[in-house]
Structure 1
Amino acid sequence: MKSKKASTFILTNSLIIGIFLLGTDNLVIGPLVNQISKDINSSPNNVTLGITLYSLAYGFFALFLAPISDIYGRKIIIVISSLFFGITCFGISMFHDNTSFLLFRFLSGVAAAVLGPNLWAYVNEIFEKGKRELVTSWMMSAFNLATVLGVPIGLFVSGIFGWSDMFIIIGILSIVISLLFGRYGEKNTSSNTTFTFRTHFANIKGAFKLNWKLSLSILFASAAYLMVYPCINLWLDKKGGWTISEQTVVFFVIGLTGFIGNIISGFVLQKSSPSKISRIFWVMQSCIIIILFLTTYLIGNAYLFIGLTAIWTFLTGVGNTAFITNVASRAGNIRGSVMALNNSSIFLGFTLGSFLGGEIWGLTENIGFNLLLAIASSLFAVYFLFIKEKKISLSSEMVNEKGA
């Protein structure tokens, strides 16, 4: 019993730290652009391309590589992808030229695309109901905590030792997680351990059939947030009177409210269904964005804007945790494929939102237009969330049938 408790404790913390590392690795490049570009003799634009390559690699390869775990099992895929992720981080830190940086950044996105969805899928297979919702909320909190603490810690470490040491630390921790999963991870049984393209693409097709509406919903919800979030500091700069340290506090507060929302959602989900909670909070998010737009135009007070944005982030924290719990709980034997589609949709939403938000701001320098775009995107998210689901029978070609 003691050994079982110890294994559960180690696995729980490995899942949480793994998600925190993915969140930090995804976000830490932004504040280090100037430092990295000088060190690798490149332009800031080329370093920024590394962010885009990472997101595109995650969005594309999550859909086609992560579902392999439905055939081979979650444990072995997590061990391999976490190890590969650590190696790519070492590559980023060791080879200081533009081509190597972009190559390893792309490969890091590929590794994260496999690791991330399978960490989420794994939770729903080894934890019972009640504990499962709590661990999911802790993992969502860890991802949000990366925005609150991960980036500041990264900047602190890079300021003392250099930016490359930040990736060495991420790489070491990722390899440790790989070893811990190899030692303590529970092997989920798969009835078909022979890979065939027919089985693999049947699983992906099944994920689309089961979850395409929810995938579009999370895509538009993710896009809505990224249409506004990156432009907040630009808007504060334009208003004037906001120092860098004050803006840092603003983003800390905004990130902290999302973290609190994730924590609270774990307890809320023990009393109500994730489907119901996600619908309620999706609608509330749309309402708060509309209020944010109206008050920005009618009042234009920066403190009110920050307060309402913090509420939006809190609602996102609760709603997203409920959404992911709902998606994972309905996935059955193709959970890896379903979570891969979900994660792919999130990162494609991030890419779409940041691109459109940046373009709109560049054309108008008016955050009101970004908010209008976010309102439209959030309403699409609500629409797809409320479309009535049809019950489907999953194809016999999928992983749960031998000889596929």
Structure 2
Amino acid sequence: MRKYTALFFLVMFMIGTDTFLISPLLPTLQAQYGVSTGIAGWMIGSYTLGSALFALIAGPLSDGWNRRTVMLYGLLGFSVSTVLCGFADGFWTMCLFRFLAGVSAAFTAPQVWASIPAVMPASKIAKTMGIAFAGLAAAQALGVPIGSWLAVARWSVPFWTIGAASSLLIVYAYYALPDIKPNTREKTSVLRRYIPLIISGKARSGFLAYLLLHLGSGTAFAFVGKWMADRFELPIGQIGTVMMFLGFGTLLGSIVSTYATRKLGITNAVVVGMLLLMALYVVMPRLASLPFVTIVYFIIFVTLGIIFPIVMGALTSLNASIRGTISSLANSTMNGANTLGAWIAGVLYVQLGGYSSIGIFSAICLAFSLGTFLFGGVLERKPARISEEPASVSETNT
């Protein structure tokens, strides 16, 4: 069992590191390519755009394929495209390679969430999913700052390092993960797999609220590195150190999320958390002390670490029979929101008063997200543990 847990953690760690890497590198890459602040955010947005677009088809398609094969080819594409980012000699070349890395991640990440119930016993599913989510949090706590420190030598080194490490992960996945074939050979169209979600009012509300949640948090995160460099004149190495501290906040939040849910209940935990986030996003840009800013952002990331697993649990409980499709749609929604958020952040930062306008925008998005969650009834009941239809795993070495 441990080999599966380690694999899923490492896959999400690599994808998370690559996803968040550009934010602390943004000032360096902006200077490297000589582009304006207004369009620099597309080095973030191109990755999330590729992931968002292709996740819409990756999940439904992979529901009918061998998940092991999809994961291996996804990791291969991810490794190659990330290495190529280190050789990008122009802004649009970088955007292209980031887009391809996002496409590869769109096929890889959903296999983690969909494979866990197929290879793990029912009693271990929830714990393993928590560990996989912790891989994303650890990417912020360790992967992104390490990437920032590596970039002190040369900006391309982090991309080469992630690409090389991902290639080693392919070998591990090849030997560790069994074939996970679909339960039926019946051909189902991509659109048909989405129909249960389209006709469900609760599902529509849930994904709209999820979009707004990530739009608010993603817009604030996209330019935090740029803002710290401008406001406090931080070099890239120190930005990485701050990012490490924030990442530990997310990791801590994911660890105590279950405890917070038990103490407050699902609805109260989300309400309290999102109200706190609204206040902090508005106040934080006005702080003049870097230590205070870091503490506030740490609290923000702890709160997000608590909220995200709760919300994801609510979404995955909508329909257990199309888990891959729901996971991919959630991934697409998240990356679509981050893509839009990176563009909006650039406009707000340049045109409307810098990071203060970003904080206000984020708070407004969270307010609408919370209202949609509540009025849509998404949080009314405790999400049920994801049930798994009998899995077709070609070897029973669990």
Give the structure-1-normalised TM-score.
0.79
Q: How far off is 1:280 after superposition? A: 3.0
> Deviation of residue 107 (structure 1)?
1.5
Compared CA separation, residues 168 and 227, structure 1 to 2 (3 A)? closer
Matched, 1:69 2:62: yes
For 2:5, the aligned partner's letter is: T
Shift of the alpha carbon at 1:357? 2.9
CA offsets 1:138-194 (integer angstroms, 9 cap, x no match): 22222122222212212333444x444433332233233333333332444523336
**In the alignment, structure 1 residue 310 sits paired with structure 2 residue 298:** yes
Kindly state the Cα deviation for residue 99 of structure 1 after the two structures are TM-superposed: 6.0
- Are 2:142 and 1:149 aligned? yes
Report the equivalent of 1:262. Answer: 254
Tell me by how many angstroms 1:233 deviates.
Answer: 5.3
Task: Say yes or no: does 1:288 pair with 2:288.
Answer: no
Matched residue, 2:362: 374
Corresponding residue for 1:204? 194
Partner secondary structure for residue 2 of structure 2: helix
Match status 1:228 vs 2:220: yes
Structure 2 unmatched ranges of 5 or more? 381-388, 391-398
The C-alpha deviation readout for 1:117-145, integer Å capped at 9, x for no partner, is 22122224333455323222222222122
Assess, with a 3 A threshold, how the Cα gap between structure 1 residues 288 and 33 changes in structure 2: closer, same or farther: closer
Match of 1:193 in 2: 185
Residue of structure 2 in register with 1:53 after alignment? 46
Is the counterpart of residue 169 in structure 1 residue 158 in structure 2? no
Total equivalences in the alignment: 376
Residue 307 (structure 1) shift: 3.1
Relative to structure 1, the CA distance from residue 95 to residue 193 in structure 2 (aligned partners, 3 Å threshold; closer, same or farther) is farther
Q: One-letter code of the match for 1:28? A: L
8 Å Cα contact 1:11-1:180 kept in structure 2: no
Shift of 1:21: 0.8
* 8 Å CA contact 1:70, 1:336 repeated in 2: yes
Q: CA 1:126–1:381 in structure 2 vs 1: closer, same or farther (change >3 Å)? A: farther
Match of 2:322 in 1: 334
Equivalent of residue 377 in structure 2, options 388, 392, 400: 388
User: Counterparts in 2 of 1:239-254, with a 5 A limit?
Assistant: 248-254=240-246
Distance 1:36 1:290 in 2: 30
- Which 10-residue stretch deviates more, 210-219 or 176-185? 176-185
Higher radius of gyration, 1 or 2? 1
Deviation per CA, 1:179-223: give whole Å up to 9, x if none. Answer: 33333324445233365xx52221133344453322211111111
Deviation at 1:96, TM superposition (A): 4.7
Q: 1:154 to 1:293 in 2, by over 3 A?
A: closer
Say if 1:330 and 1:18 are closer, same or farther in 2 by CA, change over 3 A. same
**Structure 1, unaligned stretches of length 5 or more?**
1-7, 391-398
Aligned equivalents of 2:23, 2:358: Cα separation in 1:
20
Residues 30 and 312 from structure 1, CA distance in 2 versus in 1: closer, same or farther, beyond 3 angstroms? closer
The CA distance in 1 between the partners of 2:325 and 2:113, in whole Å, is 11
Aligned-pair CA distance for 1:244: 6.6
Instruction: Name the Cα RMSD after superposition.
Output: 3.5
State whether residues 224 and 374 of structure 1, in contact with CA within 8 Å, keep that contact through their aligned partners in structure 2: yes
Residue 285 of structure 1 contacts residue 378 of structure 1 at CA under 8 Å; is this kept in 2? no
Number of the residue aligned with 1:179:
171
State how far apart, in whole Å, the 2-side matches of 1:94 and 1:284 are: 45
Distance 1:77 1:200, change over 3 A: same
Give the Å deviation of 1:245: 6.4
Paired residues for 1:1-20 under 5 Å = 8-20=1-13
TM-score between both structures, scaled by the size of structure 2: 0.80
